Amino acid sequence: MQRSKICCGGYDMTRDGSGWSSFAKASLLVAGIIILIITICVAAGITWWKHYGKEVVDYSKTVFEQGRQEGRNSSETDCMKSASDRFRIDNSIDKMVGNSIRMRACLSTAQPSELFCEGVPSKRDISETVKWRIGKCPEMGLKEKDCGGVLSVMQEYCYSKERLGKLTSVR
């Protein structure tokens, strides 16, 4: 008497004689494709970093130092205005990132502005953040889709220990 090889929820894995069900074959194929895609992405990332990594790091250091320098002679409000002005001139992705780094560095060395953080919601409060940004972007002369980076930096800074420390040391 021959025993049936039943497995995997009652499916006979030997129907086609291979010992593998269609589901198992499809699963292996999908897993192989996913692994291939991940490998290609990692290889592309490594190649990109080898070609542009130093340039990105140097650019980040430069804009960070420019921001710190700018902030030494500015108020928090001045830092925000400068960031908005720079963003209006060029809102390409690399400039957006650089502008965010520069703004954060500027704020770190700037003199506190009493009302700078008034009405700024926590990033955790998503509904208030959306309402605030919808109102704040036009105030800054920026399109809503374009000013998220600048306002995100402002929100992070306003709720940072660094800003709290500035305010305590001023009083």
pLDDT tens for each residue of 18-58: 567 888 889 999 999 999 999 999 999 999 889 888 888 89
What tokens appear for 89 in the block? 């001139």
Q: Are 95 and 149 within 8 A, CB to CB?
A: no
Q: Are 11 and 21 within 8 A, CB to CB?
A: yes
User: pLDDT tens-digit profile of 132-155?
Assistant: 998 888 888 887 777 888 899 999
| Dist. CA 158–CA 160, nearest whole Å | 6
User: pLDDT tens-digit profile of 24-34?
Assistant: 889 999 999 99
pTM of the predicted model as reported, rounded to 2 decimal places = 0.68
Q: Are 146 and 86 within 8 A, CB to CB?
A: no
Confidence of residue 166 (pLDDT cuts 50, 70, 90): confident
| 67 HSE (CA, 13 A, CB side) | 24
